[in-house]
């Protein structure tokens, strides 16, 4: 019995290995193991069932299982093909039962064939499947080995002094997309949680600029502005991509810090929606969490598992699941950023740039970070919940950074939003815009500075975010950059 089970096992895991071979550098090995165990379980379950039905004809059960697994793995491909041909109406509830029926029927018919003939088929298919899997393993092995080596070398990099030998502080620039200024929270939402957060910041030595405004409500433009401390003519919606992509690769802030021996690290979700943007020019860029935080349950879907299961008969259940992979990836990234924001595995001095799409759309978080997908992703009535979560995230990040900080050389921390809550209604799906939301709050931002030892920094309540890095550089690097 066990010998013949090899075929179902090989057939079950082949698609998982095929996709892993094509995405080795992106996929977590743990995820591969989990999906393989899951698929083997399905393969063996069918095999045992057919063995029982065929009264112990194991070669027949194995070949029947192979056939059933072919149906299992190709459901999505056939479904999509039939839909694109568009000859007759095809829905999940109409096609799935018929497909499963066809698979089981044919698998059962196979068990009726002559055992000698089935043993020959078993021999041949084991050889073919084994060859295919071996081919994939040969592709995977060197890449997986390289990947493992890279991770080890990053973890083992010792903390080193900067090239000038001077003790520049670590700089943490935490940007929260679309976080409304505190006064908007108090006045419009009547939410005083911001006062607790402001008190927390002040008690830790932060200066909180409460009347700070962004120039525009566009994230790309604001990032361009802040990282170059230069005002550009405000471009049209289409041209802002060009401006961003032209300027970000050689932005002044990162160039400056690199010349001063900084290690540049970014936890950046900006390309979560805007996938065609040029990546930030940093030494270590995290755009997705390499670790999985959300849900310890075995069957937590990530992109890879989604890819493998997308074409199986499980597709309808995956798509109806409330475990939207994109949302889970977003949540994972937030949790990863909270935990890893000190970035102490990288050499000091380091510049750590965090840009999270929080409290920005998708509005899916409860205050404690649990997901609430009901009510849509673009429902502005849920902005407040996302905002409360942002306050928690920001506070945890500050606590983590300060806990890891060197008391003799404390870090600089800047907490900022790129623009305020815009209450934008992109299309009909944003059906619940905020009533009577004042326009004046669309540019009111969160802006707080922890600049230890910088007693004469020109910080004011109406601080212009374009001056963020000039103030830092003038203070810690004795620069003389004009303040605008």
Give the footprint of other proteins on this chain (CB under 8 A). 83, 86-91, 93-95, 97-98, 101-102, 105, 319, 373-378, 425, 427-431, 433
Taking the complex as a whole, the smallest distance from the CB of residue 143 to other proteins amounts, in Å, to: 31
Q: Which is nearer to other proteins, 102 or 199 (CB)?
A: 102
Side-chain-side CA neighbours of 57 within 13 Å: the count stands at 23
Taking the complex as a whole, the smallest distance from the CB of residue 105 to other proteins amounts, in Å, to: 7
In angstroms, rounded to a whole number, what is the distance separating the alpha carbons of residues 191 and 29?
Answer: 44
Q: Which is nearer to other proteins, 86 or 297 (CB)?
A: 86
Residues 131, 8 contacting (CB under 8 angstroms)? no
Q: Which is nearer to other proteins, 40 or 90 (CB)?
A: 90
Taking the complex as a whole, the smallest distance from the CB of residue 88 to other proteins amounts, in Å, to: 5
Tell me the Ramachandran region of residue 190: left when phi exceeds 0, alpha when psi lies from -120 to 50, beta otherwise. Answer: left
Taking the complex as a whole, the smallest distance from the CB of residue 7 to other proteins amounts, in Å, to: 26
Count of CB atoms situated within 10 Å of the CB of 270: 23
Taking the complex as a whole, the smallest distance from the CB of residue 419 to other proteins amounts, in Å, to: 18
Q: Which is nearer to other proteins, 430 or 477 (CB)?
A: 430
Lookup: tokens for 432: 């619940």
Q: Which is nearer to other proteins, 151 or 433 (CB)?
A: 433
Q: Which is nearer to other proteins, 257 or 309 (CB)?
A: 309
Residue with tokens 């899951």: 38
In angstroms, rounded to a whole number, what is the distance separating the alpha carbons of residues 206 and 391?
Answer: 15
Taking the complex as a whole, the smallest distance from the CB of residue 303 to other proteins amounts, in Å, to: 15
Burial of 435 (0-12, 13-18, 19+ CB in 10 A): exposed
Taking the complex as a whole, the smallest distance from the CB of residue 433 to other proteins amounts, in Å, to: 5
Taking the complex as a whole, the smallest distance from the CB of residue 428 to other proteins amounts, in Å, to: 4
Residues 410, 206 contacting (CB under 8 angstroms)? no
Q: Which is nearer to other proteins, 239 or 319 (CB)?
A: 319
Q: Which is nearer to other proteins, 93 or 298 (CB)?
A: 93
Lookup: tokens for 386: 């996302």
């Amino acid at each position: 019995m066990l010998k013949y089970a090899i075929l179902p096992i090989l057939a079950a895991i082949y698609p998982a290995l095929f996709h892993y071979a094509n995405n080795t550098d992106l996929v977590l090995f743990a995820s591969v193991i989990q999906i393989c165990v899951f698929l083997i379980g399905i393969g063996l379950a069918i095999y045992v069932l057919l063995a029982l039905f065929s009264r112990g004809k194991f070669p027949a059960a194995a070949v029947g299982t192979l056939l059933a697994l072919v149906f299992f793995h190709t459901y999505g491909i056939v479904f999509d093909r039939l839909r694109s041909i568009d000859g007759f109406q095809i829905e999940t509830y109409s096609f799935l039962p018929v497909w499963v029926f066809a698979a089981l029927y044919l698998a059962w018919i196979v068990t009726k064939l002559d055992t000698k003939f089935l043993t020959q088929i078993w021999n041949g298919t084991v050889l073919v499947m084994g060859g295919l899997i071996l081919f994939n393993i040969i592709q995977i092995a060197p890449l997986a080995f390289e990947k493992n080596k890279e991770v080890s070398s990053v973890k083992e990099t010792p903390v080193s002094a900067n090239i000038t030998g001077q003790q520049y502080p670590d700089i943490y620039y935490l940007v929260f997309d679309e976080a409304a200024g505190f006064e908007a929270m108090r006045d419009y939402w009547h939410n005083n949680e911001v006062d607790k957060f402001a008190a927390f910041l002040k008690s830790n030595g932060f200066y909180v600029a409460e009347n700070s405004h962004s120039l525009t409500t566009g994230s790309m433009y604001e990032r361009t502005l802040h990282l170059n401390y230069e005002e550009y003519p405000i471009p049209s919606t289409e041209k802002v991509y060009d401006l961003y992509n032209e300027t970000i690769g050689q932005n002044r802030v990162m160039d400056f810090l690199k010349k001063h021996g900084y290690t540049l690290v970014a936890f950046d979700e900006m390309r979560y929606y805007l996938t065609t943007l040029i990546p930030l020019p940093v030494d270590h860029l995290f755009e997705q969490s390499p670790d999985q935080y959300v849900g310890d349950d075995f069957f937590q879907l990530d992109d890879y598992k989604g890819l493998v299961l997308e074409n199986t008969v499980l597709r309808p259940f995956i798509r109806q699941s409330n475990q939207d992979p994109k949302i889970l990836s977003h949540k994972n990234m937030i949790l990863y950023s909270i935990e890893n924001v000190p970035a102490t595995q990288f050499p000091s001095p380091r510049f750590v740039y965090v840009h999270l799409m929080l409290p920005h759309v998708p509005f899916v978080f409860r205050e404690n970070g649990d997901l609430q997908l009901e009510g849509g992703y673009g429902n502005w009535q849920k902005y407040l919940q996302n905002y409360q979560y942002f306050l928690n995230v920001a506070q945890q990040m500050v606590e983590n950074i300060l806990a890891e900080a060197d008391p003799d050389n404390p870090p600089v921390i800047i907490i900022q939003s790129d623009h305020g809550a815009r209450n934008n209604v992109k299309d009909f799906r944003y059906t619940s815009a905020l009533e009577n939301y004042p326009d004046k709050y669309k540019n009111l931002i969160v802006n707080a500075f922890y600049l230890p030892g910088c007693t004469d920094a020109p910080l004011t309540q109406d601080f212009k975010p374009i001056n963020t890095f000039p103030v830092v550089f003038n203070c810690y690097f004795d620069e003389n950059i004009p303040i605008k």
